[in-house]
Amino acid sequence: MRSTKTIHVISAHAEGEVGDVIVGGVQPPPGDTLWEQRSFIARDETLRNFVLNEPRGGVFRHVNLLVPPKHPEADAAFIIMEPEDTPPMSGSNSICVSTVLLDGGIIPMQEPETHLVLEAPGGLVRVRAECNNGKAERIYVQNVASFADKLGVPLEVPGLGTITVDTAYGGDSFVVVDAKALGFEIVEDEAKDIARLGVAITDAANDQLGFSHPTNAEWDHISFCAFCGPLSKTETGLTGRSAVAIQPGKVDRSPTGTAVSARMALMAAKGQMQVGQTFDAVSIIGSRFTGRILDGSDVGGRRGILPEISGRAWITGIHQHMLDPGDPWPDGYRLSDTWGA
């Protein structure tokens, strides 16, 4: 076999959502901070295209690049590459990265618990992993500070009319809609319709509402649409179904850790959830993340929360992605049948 590059990947999924991890074959990108390194990858697109585009990738795939941490407290750092964005943080991807680091032997595992500090582009996240018999069985991630942005505002969506939405940040930016009011129960056979409508709602929200992170001016758009089902009470808090539409048009298979954090921030702002309570989030395939509000937080003068999310991940394979020098599509390709227009 001949190849001009070989990228070593440990593949994983967190409660159904793919989050592969590059463990070798890629030099750290230039930049004095992890955010600058993230921004280089987003602008340059060479690595993103190679691992996300077909034939190596697909609209369903997220890939994380392990890099040496910049922050002195961090044990490892990672840059997240999603189909359309290179985001500040991702819950499912942080759970995959933690699992790969521990199950793959990159960071020594301590049983019954291992404590890590990971550096994401959006800031430090503290991880507690429940470990047993050489397996990281459940990952608890103390996410970045999250906050509600706009509450109960009108949004005109082409072909749908005017709906009422919220916007929020949970490590990434969301427009949040009432799934039941739009006729969705959040079940598997609704995935295609949720994905298509979610992209339209996200586009409309960016055009009409916008978003600006109070301490990171470079994060100035809404990434996702979260369809949130009715809430029910539990012994420790609340539970509910949700589905997140990801650009260019797919539904997250997991409950989406940043969406859980954003939804808890909205519930706290509306007086529905308090510090110490939990939120059991159920995805479109029935998988679960558990969220908890650890404390209040201040985000550039905005009142927010410090959230924790937890879930499970499993390694699915080890891959070496290669590039034959005679391959006529070295950057891969995207077609509208799966990638959208």
Q: Mean pLDDT across the stretch 74-93?
A: 97
Q: What is the pLDDT of residue 275?
A: 97
* Percentage of residues in the chain having pLDDT higher than 90: 98
- 3-state secondary structure string, 40-77? HHHHHCHHHHHHHCECCCCCCCCEEEEECCCCCCCCEE
pLDDT at 45: 97
Query: Over the stretch 285-326, which tens digit does the pLDDT of each residue have?
Result: 999 999 999 999 999 999 999 999 999 999 999 999 999 999
Gyration radius of the chain's alpha carbons:
19
Q: Quick one: pLDDT at residue 1? A: 82
Q: Would you name the residues annotated as active-site residues?
A: 90
**In contact, 280 and 234? CB cutoff 8 Å:** yes
Residues 107-126: tens digit of each pLDDT: 999 999 999 999 999 999 99
Residue found by looking up tokens 């749908």 in the block: 160
pLDDT(196) > 90: yes
The first and second tokens of residue 60, run together, are: 């369903």
Q: What is the rounded (10 degree) CA torsion for 68, 70, 71, 75?
A: 0
3-18 residues labelled b (16+ CB within 10 A) or e (exposed): eeeebebbbbbbbbbb
Q: What pLDDT, in 10s, does the model give residues 199-248? A: 999 999 999 999 999 999 999 999 999 999 999 999 999 999 999 999 99
For residue 77, what pLDDT band results from cuts at 50, 70 and 90? Answer: very high
The model's pTM is 0.96
